[in-house]
Amino acid sequence: MADTAEEIASPMAGATTGHYYWDRGLGDSLNRPEKIADPAEVERRSTDGSSVWNAAGTWEERSIGSWAKDSLRERLLGRTLSVAPLTSFVVTKVCKVDGQASVLFTRGKKRVGFNFDVELEWEGEYPDHGKVMGVINLADVSESSYDLADDAACRVVSRGTAPKSIEPQIVKNAAKASAALSDVFAALLEDLRARA
């Protein structure tokens, strides 16, 4: 093996172009990005809703969280429920909707998912005690666990003019009312599936 002093000093001495062994001789044409002629080409969707570039259906995720959050706020605000003995139960304010919603295309199948933390303020009328109000915190409500009958998922705090002695009963009834909000999340899931 007869290496000249020049070949030893410059390891790329024999290469025509490139800087690594693997692309020796390929030139720069393979390493340059190509300009997209039509920007609408990027946004085109195939018949199943996935992007045209994902013809193999490997993995694609699109966020639809802002739409889902706005939709959830609209569905919850002003929602009136009837739970005895509360004569009325109204969601008066949606304080917080944190989380995400997305459409996932994987292995040729479309899946929709969401995960939200929601905080609501409510008011109601309690027989013989007048106006009562409180806060409902719904934690980790997702497409697979939106049945709010589970007490662990819902925390209710009562505030208002009712005496402290009946507060546990008010909280219990408000928790029942918040469980009735499950249908809001079920409807959201159906709309996300239709929208995707």
Per-10-residue mean pLDDT for the chain, 196 residues long?
53 51 55 67 57 66 89 92 74 94 83 90 79 83 77 58 74 76 89 84
Model pLDDT, residue 80: 85
pTM: 0.66
Model pLDDT, residue 152: 41
Model pLDDT, residue 155: 60
Model pLDDT, residue 60: 79
Non-local (6+) Cβ contacts of 178 within 8 A are 120, 136, 138, 148, 154, 156
Place of tokens 């005895």: 84
Structure tokens at 10: 């410059």
Q: Rounded to an integer, what distance in angstroms lies between the CA atom of residue 58 and that of residue 61?
A: 10
Question: Which residues sit opposite 104 in a β-bridge?
Answer: 61, 111
Q: Rounded to an integer, what distance in angstroms lies between the CA atom of residue 193 and that of residue 195?
A: 5
Question: Which residues sit opposite 126 in a β-bridge?
Answer: 130
Q: Rounded to an integer, what distance in angstroms lies between the CA atom of residue 122 and that of residue 136?
A: 8
Model pLDDT, residue 43: 57
Model pLDDT, residue 107: 77
Q: Rounded to an integer, what distance in angstroms lies between the CA atom of residue 18 and that of residue 99?
A: 46
Structure tokens at 116: 């939200």
Model pLDDT, residue 71: 94
Model pLDDT, residue 68: 93
Non-local (6+) Cβ contacts of 110 within 8 A are 48, 49, 50, 103, 104, 196
Model pLDDT, residue 16: 52
